[in-house]
């Protein structure tokens, strides 16, 4: 593709998602746009990029194709193991009155992360407890996928234990559909992490995994700064396995404690309570979205 086309598309993606495409990634952009160009009847990727300036529908499709949505069930395993073995019991011990957990999957892609957590909650949350999972992404196409809860055969194979496949999914044509009980636990919302967050309240666990790597330093730092007030004082923030060694400015570094749980490192709000705190605080904070 022509350098001018690459610059045009890279600027578009940066503006809409803050994702940076460097010139050496030109081949990737071309590979991802080629099928769209062919479908739209364009003779070349260059012609397709020209078309984007006048066609908002294709523009949406191109942006969706260029946000990297790679994900899988129980991705990396260890975080999910740490969740069931350590985080969940600790969180439950502090919430015996309210008996409710709030979880945020903050770059949810097609929903495997949110539904993996939903499966674990189904297996480990005692009767009488409830949970809700907020799934957000910048890509509206991805949010629609989460809402539909349908996955192709190829996606189902990626990390989902066979016992969970038969327990939590039913066949729907060539795809598999998540059972309504888990579907009901997850709600979606459009949210661009690179911009100020809307009023969404605080969460006991935030999964912010495999998304910071696509941003520049100031954007990463801004997100981690803003994230602080959305994690409950005894809650957890989980980053991707290659994202925990971020170089942070001193004040931001001091905002988070790091805790090693098995093979994963969790971030926790610094100075947060790790002993039970008055449950009324948890209650009002979660109800009103006010910050403690």
Q: Among 55, 72, 84, 279, which residue sits at the site for other proteins (rule: CB under 8 A)?
A: 72
Q: In what order do the strands lie in the sheet with 256-261?
A: 186-190, 130-137, 100-105, 203-208, 231-239, 264-269, 256-261
**Stretch near other proteins under the rule CB under 8 A, chosen from 69-77, 84-92, 140-148, 205-213:** 69-77
CB of 241 to other proteins, least distance (A): 8
Residue 194 near residue 91 (C-beta atoms within 8 A)? no
Residue 2 near residue 26 (C-beta atoms within 8 A)? no
H-helix or E-strand spanning residue 101: strand 100-105
Q: Residue 257 and residue 272: Cα distance in Å, rounded?
A: 9
CB of 275 to ligand SAM, least distance (A): 31
- Report residue 140 as tokens: 């509206």
**Stretch near other proteins under the rule CB under 8 A, chosen from 74-82, 121-129, 179-187, 220-228:** 74-82
113 binds, among other proteins, ligand SAM, none (CB under 5 to 8 A by kind): ligand SAM
Q: Among 54, 57, 127, 166, which residue sits at the site for other proteins (rule: CB under 8 A)?
A: 166
Is the Cβ of residue 42 or residue 133 nearer to ligand SAM in the bound state? Answer: 133
Count of residues of this chain found to bind other proteins when the rule CB under 8 A is applied: 27
Our measurement of the distance from residue 40's CA atom to the centroid of its chain's CA atoms, rounded to an integer in Å, reads: 30
- Report residue 112 as tokens: 């495997």
Considering the rule CB under 8 A, would residue 158 count as an interface residue with other proteins?
yes
Considering the rule CB under 8 A, would residue 192 count as an interface residue with other proteins?
no
Q: Among 21, 74, 151, 236, which residue sits at the site for other proteins (rule: CB under 8 A)?
A: 74
138 binds, among other proteins, ligand SAM, none (CB under 5 to 8 A by kind): ligand SAM
Measured N-to-C along each axis, helices 3-17 and 45-52 cross at an angle, to the nearest 10 degrees, of 40
Our measurement of the distance from residue 169's CA atom to the centroid of its chain's CA atoms, rounded to an integer in Å, reads: 21
Q: Which residues bind other proteins (CB under 8 A)?
A: 31, 34-35, 38, 72, 74, 76-78, 152-154, 156-159, 161-163, 165-166, 170-171, 173-175, 241
């Amino acid at each position: 593709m022509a350098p001018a086309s690459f610059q045009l598309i890279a600027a578009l993606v940066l503006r809409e998602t803050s994702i940076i495409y460097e010139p050496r990634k030109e081949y990737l952009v071309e590979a991802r746009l080629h099928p769209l160009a062919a479908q739209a009847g364009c003779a070349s990727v260059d012609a397709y990029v020209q078309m984007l300036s006048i066609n908002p529908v294709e523009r949406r499709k191109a942006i969706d194709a260029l946000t990297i949505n790679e994900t899988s069930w129980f991705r990396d395993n260890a975080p999910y193991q740490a969740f069931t073995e350590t985080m969940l019991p600790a969180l439950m011990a502090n919430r015996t009155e309210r008996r409710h957990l709030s979880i945020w999957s903050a770059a949810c892609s097609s929903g495997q992360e949110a539904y993996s957590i939903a499966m674990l909650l189904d297996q480990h949350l005692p009767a009488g407890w409830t949970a809700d999972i907020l799934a957000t992404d910048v890509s509206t196409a991805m949010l629609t996928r989460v809402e539909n809860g349908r996955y192709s055969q190829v996606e189902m194979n990626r990390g989902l234990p066979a016992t969970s496949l038969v327990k939590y999914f039913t066949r729907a044509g060539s795809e598999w559909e998540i059972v309504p009980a888990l579907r009901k636990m997850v709600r979606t919302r459009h949210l661009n992490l690179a911009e100020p967050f809307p009023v969404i309240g605080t969460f006991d666990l935030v999964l912010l995994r495999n998304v910071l790597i696509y941003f520049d330093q100031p954007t990463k730092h801004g997100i981690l700064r803003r994230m602080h007030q959305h994690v409950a004082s005894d809650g957890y923030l989980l980053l991707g396995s290659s994202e925990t060694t971020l170089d942070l400015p001193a004040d931001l570094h001091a905002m988070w404690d790091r805790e090693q749980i098995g093979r994963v490192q969790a971030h926790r709000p610094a100075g947060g309570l790790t002993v039970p705190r008055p449950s009324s605080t948890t209650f009002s904070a979660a109800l009103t979205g006010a910050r403690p």
